[in-house]
Structure 1
């Protein structure tokens, strides 16, 4: 009964702008809410986490963030106008250095480089590489500039890929419970490569996200088919990341 009441309370706090999913953790339910493109919201234990918030109107009715994760400097990930609109005075920003350098206010900013970790109340957040292949100084996403993130919450591991290809660091991940994996050419990778990467690290649940590229929306149904053909135990959750499309 207490679990149901807590779950209902969290659902009301996080708003009703998109469908929500729930993951049971040892510290209580974790509510997962897709927003749009690279933006998502996680809510647990009275804490709300935004990842790459873009467009303040997309967060109408959503609880204000205690933590904001930013993966990279590109406008679909780092939007200073949105940050100013949605952040609270005590919101903590977890960002790579390249983002911190562009932020006018450094209060409550935690800079993470690849392979470093910060501990926040009830949550541990680790930064991992995200980059294009083959590695090149001219790549849209160079190694070491941006961060993917792994959140450790109540015994569960949540992976947010950021803009990356199926790099060795992704393929070697272990014990991922929920993964958000990008797929949009020419910026990251195609559906086949994304599926190959997911089949390598075997998350329990995967959400294809960030799948709008120059050619339109990637075929997430084909992604699901490829993943489940290779490993039917992986749950592929298709959600509407482009409600205005």
Structure 2
């Protein structure tokens, strides 16, 4: 009888161990499946003009450098987040912010912008270069934007404005703001979409912009902010330079100046 009981106990123990191993393997398989799942965001880009655009990302609505008054956004979805890069009139408009901003809208700005708007537009969140803020699964990091060329230093000094990297689930979107091909841009890694400026005399040339893009190699690049004092820069040349250097980078040209077509 004792031998029978011992045998039954051993069988029960073996079955239990087998079940535990099976459950453990199942849990491991599920964890691996989640880990290997590729996040595919739903992103729509709607240019307004020059540096101003709307980005809808997984139903979260971002307004970038909104200027042009309420009329410019009449047909756009209501914003959840507003990002302002700099104090210049093609990026910052207190009147537009007052006209479009809704209760609960997150407004993220550099300190220099806040100083200009704080008397009329309240509750802005200030972040400085290299600082971050997070909300609803998104992380926004302020990236430096400034001039390098001696004759252009007067336009954008280092530390005043913010470019931005917006990130969710490892997917990254870079918005350059007004800048030249600075080391901080060239050092960016893992960028999926990038918006890079090029206009003279205020930012940089097409060649400089293309060279920087080839170095940090985003998956997709949107040339924007390319109207200078002498007209539009040659974005077709920009695309040619980028794709000659790296055919895998997708160059997407949108209509940033519809009123000037």
Q: TM-score, normalised by structure 2?
A: 0.81
Which ranges in structure 1 are unaligned for 5 or more consecutive residues?
A: 1-24
Which ranges in structure 2 are unaligned for 5 or more consecutive residues?
A: 1-37
Deviation by residue 1:67-121 (Cα, 9 ceiling, x = unmatched): 1000000000001111111110221110000001111246431101000000011
Q: How does 1:49-60 map to 2 (within 5 A)?
A: 49-55=62-68, 56-60=70-74
Residue in structure 1 matched with residue 31 of structure 2 by the alignment: none
Query: Match for 1:147 among 159, 162, 165?
Result: 162
Residue in structure 1 matched with residue 17 of structure 2 by the alignment: none
Query: Does residue 158 of structure 1 match 2:173?
Result: yes
Aligned to 2:133, the other structure's residue is in SS state strand
Aligned to 2:212, the other structure's residue is in SS state helix
Bigger helix fraction = 2
Aligned to 2:237, the other structure's residue is in SS state helix
Residue in structure 1 matched with residue 7 of structure 2 by the alignment: none
Deviation by residue 1:33-70 (Cα, 9 ceiling, x = unmatched): 22210011111233211000111322111112111000
Residue in structure 1 matched with residue 105 of structure 2 by the alignment: 91
> Greater Rg, structure 1 or structure 2?
2
- The answer on whether the counterparts of 1:90 and 1:108 sit within 8 Å (CA) in structure 2 is no
Separation in 2, partners of 1:228, 1:154: 28
- The answer on whether the counterparts of 2:132 and 2:139 sit within 8 Å (CA) in structure 1 is yes
- The answer on whether the counterparts of 1:71 and 1:96 sit within 8 Å (CA) in structure 2 is yes
Q: 1:137 to 1:212 in 2, by over 3 A?
A: closer
Separation in 2, partners of 1:120, 1:181: 25
Q: 1:28 to 1:159 in 2, by over 3 A?
A: closer
Q: TM-score, normalised by structure 1?
A: 0.86
- The answer on whether the counterparts of 1:70 and 1:95 sit within 8 Å (CA) in structure 2 is yes
Aligned to 2:89, the other structure's residue is in SS state coil
Q: 1:222 to 1:99 in 2, by over 3 A?
A: same
CA RMSD of aligned residues (A): 1.7
Query: Does residue 120 of structure 1 match 2:100?
Result: no
Query: Does residue 69 of structure 1 match 2:83?
Result: yes
Aligned to 1:244, the other structure's residue is in SS state helix
Q: 1:115 to 1:135 in 2, by over 3 A?
A: farther
Q: 1:229 to 1:57 in 2, by over 3 A?
A: same
Residues matched between the structures, number: 221
Query: Match for 1:194 among 201, 209, 227?
Result: 209
Separation in 2, partners of 1:157, 1:177: 5
Separation in 2, partners of 1:32, 1:154: 19
